[in-house]
Amino acid sequence: MFKRLGRRFRALVGGARLDRQMDQELQFHLDLETNRLLQQGLTPDQARTGALRTFGGVEKVREECREARRTSWADTLERNTRYAWRALRRQPGYVAAVVVTLGLGIGANTAMFSVIDGVMLKPLPYPGSDRLVLIREAAPLVGQDEVGVSIRELYDYREQLKDFDGLVEFHSMSFDLINRGEPDRVSTGVVSANFFDVLRVRPVLGRTFVVSDEGHGAAAVLVLSYEYWQTRFAGDPTIIGQVFEMNDRPHTVVGVLPPMAQYPENCDVYMPSNACPFRARGEQQMAEGRRRAFGGLTVFGRLKPGVTVERAAADVAMVANRFNRDFPTVYEKSDGFKANAVPLLQEITRNARPMLLMIMGATLLVLLLACANVASLTLARTLHRERELALRVALGAGRGQLAGQLLTESVLLALGGGALGLVVARLMLGGLTSFIGRFTARTGDIHIDVTVLLFTLGLSILTGLAFGALPALVARPGPAAALKQAGPSSGGTPRRRRLQSSLVVAQVAVSVVLLVGAGLFLTSFYRLQSVETGYQPDRVISAEVFGNFSRFKSADDFRRLYLPIVERLERIPGIVSASVASAVPLGSEQMYMDAPVRIEGQAVRTKNGPTSGITIATQNYFDTLRIAILGGRGFLATDTADAARVALVNKALARNWGTRDPIGTRVSVDNGETWMTVVGVTANVRQFSLEKEPEAQVYIPLTQSLMGLPGRVLVRTQGDEQAMSQVIRAVVHDVDPNVPVKNISTLEELRRRYLSRPLLTAMLLVLFAGVALVVTLTGLAGVMATSVSQRTQEFGVRLALGARPAVLVRSVLRQGAGLLILGVALGIAGASAAGRVLTRYLFDTAPTDPLTFAGVAAALLLTGLVACLGPARRATSVDPLQALRSE
């Protein structure tokens, strides 16, 4: 075969050389013929002319040879395409069915591939981004898969690693930028001075940071993102040099970034590392000896030329080991602290990757199902065309040529499907992109571009070959078939029937796998959303009312803001209860988390001691959220600033008391400086996530708090929620007109937003499974119909002999059930084996959840039998006389 390809290639490319060879060959022949005639006694002249005469026109021969050579490849393809076009035009119904089916299947795959290409395959939009590498720390032995880098560690890495051309830090914060008196909450990226240099990003206006910006006492500067510059400042070209107040300091804008997706996060503005007040405090603590102070940095760098990622990873790991060795009190053996280096792109897509691959797998399965259906359809069509094909064989088409012909048809159909698929993909891409945006930040590069087009083309051709191969292999009509009459029992040979049955069984198995996947996600979602949360979100509105750092410094300042707000809100009719708290369930993160807790009477443990989140709240907090108080009391009006300090703990924290009652003992959350008496125990509240176990919590009344807080107003209302949000705004501005009221939403909405990710995932899989089921049932019905038409004689005879129609129906159904049971069994086997990949996405649901499996099996069997009913009923409407006659 390769010789043939080689020859064809040479024919395309080396025409002139082949011409010369042909001339040589013909000349050889002429010379020999001339020689022969010479030996017969003719004169040389006569011999030559004689030879030429018997040869025939040399030019003509040359032309014909060239034509014979050219009948390869392009010509065959052209001929096949013409025949295919004509043949397909005669079967519009079949063509429509195939193109639509394949269009949907290929379209879904094209859309998914665009997403995968845009998220995982394309390099980051920075020049030389494959040299960008992230340092990743972890403490796996204490369950910390990912640990941020601390300031001290970053400096150590910089000193001790020789692999990098610049190691930079990044962390993001939410600050207020005072723009013409209006505070604007901006997401701020706090970065090293050479951050943009390492990324090789050039500003579109002004400059990025320089080393001196990071120096002590340097004036604070800002770099704006392109989007923020456009939306907030309408692209004002005079923005450079303007000064805004942030965190009590004037910040001068020195540059604007170009329009591009940003990594690691999208930020509105950027400031140098020394301008962040929290980081500054961290530096102070570091100077006092706390090695892990401010341990939330993302650190990455550009590899020096010639350094491989592997070497960098090894070096980073070595440095981390040195940390373990030199600071055993900070990095205890039981933590298992380690570090390595990974390419930045890989890190960014880490969360999305399994989800993407899973969905891609599902889409491919759906395409496979569609192919099986189309293959079955085509098999049936080939039967109808037996005479036409046999004629062609009789006219000299070889078996290979016939197969090529049929394959050309199927590839043509598949290309049509692919074209339709591009349209389908275009429609799907928007929704798919926003879905995947919940898993990764990298959605800016998802487009239908040349790569995707090539993928679609390749996939279409493969699909065409796949579904066409089966019928092409099977189509082997002998010349005698052209003369045969197409009889009623031309359902085909047993071989064909077995092929169709196997196809159906395979389809059923694949559908089972998809249905099980969908079922598992649905079950997981259902269990997630019905998990006990510890509070009641209905009719509660929350709003972020954050006091600016510059104006609100002490706890008293915050009390002066929040207490009047609560008081006024409670006086409003329609509001059942109001409070302000430092955290809202399922809202953004709590400010105080993992604070070490000291319990009076228990030994102090610096490591592995109890930690807890701290919620500062006003008196009616538990009432507003309907959090149950299990023992003792809630906050009372008597818990004033001069009264004894009190606190509540939740059940999770109460476990630290063992069997003793926590009420009456004292706790401290500031390392023993101040102590509070526990006066009540509350139920556990799932504060941040529905999946994780509730964290320990200490509740401190706002009236006694020593710390400030980012206050969230919580209002339980009887009336209209929309109207209430206006009321809240009015009341807040009544108390202090300069405090922004942001993110007003009901707790129900927060919960819905939180659940949207697992819900959408489940819905997506249900969609796939639904499509798969429909495709499979159609295929099953088709095969049963064919089988019934083949058994018409048998049915006719049985009916004539007095069989009841119900018996025939049962016979057909039994046949269908056989296929279904086999397919379901295979599918269950496959799903149990493959299910393990889903474990990390499932909540409280095993990948072999028996309920789901049973449900899917039952559903498939039932719907399958229903699908067989139609053909089964047709079996009973066979006219026995007719059937007997066409023997």
Partner 1 sequence: MPPTRLDLLQGTLDLLILRTLIVGPMHGWAISQRIQQVSQAVLQVNQGSLYPALHRLEEAGWIEAEWGRSPEHNRQAKFYRLTKSGERRLREETRQWEQMAAAVARVLTGEA
DSSP states of 219-239 as a string? PEEEEE-HHHHHHHHTT-TT-
Binding mask 417-446 toward partner 1 (x if CB under 8 A, else -) reads: ------------------------------
Among 38, 42, 65, 173, binds partner 1 (CB under 8 A): 65
Q: Smaller CB distance to partner 1: residue 55 or 83? A: 55
Report 467-486 residues binding partner 1 (CB under 8 A). 479
DSSP E strand boundaries for 204-346: 205-206, 220-224, 243-246, 249-256, 269-272, 298-303, 338-343
| Residue (55 or 843) nearer to partner 1, CB | 55
Q: Which is nearer to partner 1, 25 or 265 (CB)?
A: 25
> Which region, left, alpha or beta, applies to residue 128 given φ > 0 means left and ψ of -120 to 50 means alpha?
left
* Choice from 92, 143, 398, 573 touching partner 1 (CB under 8 A): 398
The residue type of 119 is V
Q: Are residues 561 and 739 in contact, defined by beta-carbon separation less than 8 angstroms?
A: yes
Per rule CB under 8 A, is residue 68 in the interface with partner 1?
yes
CB of 390 to partner 1, least distance (A): 14
Min separation Cβ 76 and partner 1, Å? 9
**Alpha helix segments (H runs only) across 571-711:** 621-625, 651-654
**Is there binding between residue 24 and partner 1 (CB under 8 A)?**
yes
Based on CB atoms, which residue is closest to partner 1, 285 or 401?
Answer: 401
For position 836 contacting partner 1 by CB under 8 A, the verdict is: no
* Residue nearer to partner 1 on the CB measure, 54 or 160: 54
6 binds partner 1 per the rule CB under 8 A: no
User: Which listed range, 24-32, 149-157, 577-585, 846-854, lies at the site for partner 1 (CB under 8 A)?
Assistant: 24-32
Helix (H, G, I), strand (E, B) or coil at 254: strand
- Residue 31 or 130 having the CB closest to partner 1: 31
The residue among 58 and 846 lying less far from partner 1, judged by its C-beta, is 58
Residues 6 or more apart whose Cβ sits within 8 Å of residue 701: 616, 617, 618, 619, 635, 639, 646
Smallest separation (angstroms) from partner 1 to the CB of 57: 7
Smallest distance from partner 1 to CB 54, Å: 5
The 3-state DSSP composition of the chain as helix, strand, coil percent (nearest 5) reads 55, 15, 30
Q: In 10 A of CB 695, how many CB atoms?
A: 20
Q: In the complex with partner 1, which residue's Cβ is closer, 35 or 284? A: 35
* C-beta of 401 vs 778, nearer to partner 1: 401
Q: Considering only the stretches 27-35, 166-174, 660-668, 672-680, report the one whose residues sit in contact with partner 1 under the rule CB under 8 A.
A: 27-35
Residue 562's closest CA among 550, 578, 577? 578
What is the SS3 assignment for 308? coil
Any contact of residue 71 with partner 1 (CB under 8 A)?
yes
* Window of 69-77, 517-525, 647-655, 800-808 that interacts with partner 1 by CB under 8 A: 69-77
Shortest spacing between CB 466 and partner 1, in angstroms = 25
- The residues in 720-749 that bind partner 1, with binding defined as CB under 8 A, are none
Q: Is 20 in the site for partner 1 (CB under 8 A)?
A: no
Distances from the Cα of 599 to the Cα of 233, 346, 374, 595, 610, angstroms: 52, 44, 71, 13, 9
Q: How far is the CB of 26 from partner 1 (least distance, A)?
A: 7
289 vs 398 by CB, closer to partner 1: 398
| H or E stretch covering 276 | none
Q: Are 561 and 711 in contact (CB under 8 A)?
A: yes
Closest separation in Å from C-beta 37 to partner 1: 12
Asked whether position 64 contacts partner 1 by CB under 8 A, the answer is yes
Closer to partner 1 by CB, 9 or 28: give it: 28
Strands 205-206 and 182-191, how do they pair? unpaired
Which of 93, 396, 487, 601 is the binder for partner 1 (CB under 8 A)? 396
Helix segments in 688-844, DSSP class H? 721-735, 747-790, 792-800, 805-834
Work out how close the CB of 6 gets to partner 1 at its nearest, in angstroms, rounded to a whole number. Answer: 11
Q: Where are the beta strands (DSSP E) in 652-760?
A: 666-668, 676-682, 697-701, 711-717, 742-746
871 in Cβ contact with 556 (< 8 Å): no
Contacts of 573 (CB under 8 A, 6+ apart): none
Give the separation between CA 423 and CA 429, rounded to whole angstroms.
10
Among 9, 12, 20, 32, binds partner 1 (CB under 8 A): 32
Per CB under 8 A, the list member of 72, 656, 789, 863 interacting with partner 1 is: 72
The CA distances from residue 94 to 87, 99, 325, 772, 774, in Å, are 11, 9, 73, 20, 18
What does the buried/exposed string (b/e) look like for 440-476 if buried means 16 or more CB atoms within 10 Å of the residue's CB?
bbbbbbbebeeebeebbeebbeebbebbbebbbebbe
When asked if residue 21 is in the footprint of partner 1 (CB under 8 A), the reply is: yes
Choose the stretch contacting partner 1; rule: CB under 8 A; options: 30-38, 175-183, 566-574, 865-873. Answer: 30-38
If one counts every other C-beta atom within 10 angstroms of the C-beta of residue 210, the result is: 15
Closest CA to 663 of 652, 648, 674, 653: 648
Smallest separation, CB 30 to partner 1 (Å): 9
User: What DSSP string describes 143-212?
Assistant: TEEEEPBPHHHHHHHHHH--SEEEEEEEEEEEEEEEETTEEEEEEEEEE-TTHHHHHTPPPSEE----GG
Region from 26-34, 453-461, 771-779, 839-847 binding partner 1, contact rule CB under 8 A: 26-34
Among 29, 82, 607, 804, binds partner 1 (CB under 8 A): 29
Rounded to a whole number of angstroms, the minimum distance from the CB of residue 477 to partner 1 is: 14
Instruction: Please tell me whether residue 571 binds partner 1 under the rule CB under 8 A.
Output: no
What minimum distance in Å lies between the beta carbon of 77 and partner 1? 14
Sole binder of partner 1 in the list 9, 12, 15, 28 (CB under 8 A):
28
> Binding to partner 1 (CB under 8 A): which residues in 42-61?
54-58, 60-61
User: Which of the stretches 1-9, 383-391, 693-701, 757-765 binds partner 1 when contact is defined by CB under 8 A?
Assistant: 1-9
Query: Which region among 2-10, 302-310, 607-615, 872-880 touches partner 1 (by CB under 8 A)?
Result: 2-10
Interface region with partner 1, contact rule CB under 8 A, candidates 62-70, 575-583, 761-769, 778-786: 62-70
Q: Does 7 bind partner 1 (CB under 8 A)?
A: yes
> Quick one: which of 118, 887, 105 has its CA closest to 445?
118
Q: Which is nearer to partner 1, 237 or 396 (CB)?
A: 396
CA angle 723, 725, 727 (to 5 degrees): 75
Cβ nearer to partner 1, comparing 26 with 97: 26
Distance CA 124, CA 129 (A): 6
- The nearest distance, CB 435 to partner 1, in angstroms, is 51
- The string of DSSP letters for 822-869 reads HHHHHHHHHHHHHGGGGGGG-SS--TT-HHHHHHHHHHHHHHHHHHHH
Kindly tell me which of 30 and 803 has the beta carbon lying closer to partner 1: 30
Cis peptide before 354 (omega within 30 of 0): no
The size of the interface with partner 1 (CB under 8 A), counted in residues, is 31
**Residue closer to partner 1, measured from CB, 392 or 626:** 392
Angular region, 307: left φ>0, alpha ψ -120 to 50, beta rest: beta
Q: Does 10 bind partner 1 (CB under 8 A)?
A: no
- Residue tagged 């569609």 (tokens): 370
Stretch near partner 1 under the rule CB under 8 A, chosen from 64-72, 346-354, 541-549, 619-627: 64-72
Tell which residue, 209, 243, 203, 195, has the closest CA to residue 225.
203
In the block, residue with structure tokens 């000349």? 27
* Residues found near partner 1 in the complex (CB under 8 A): 1, 3-4, 7, 21-22, 24-26, 28-29, 31-33, 54-58, 60-61, 64-65, 67-69, 71-72, 396, 398, 479
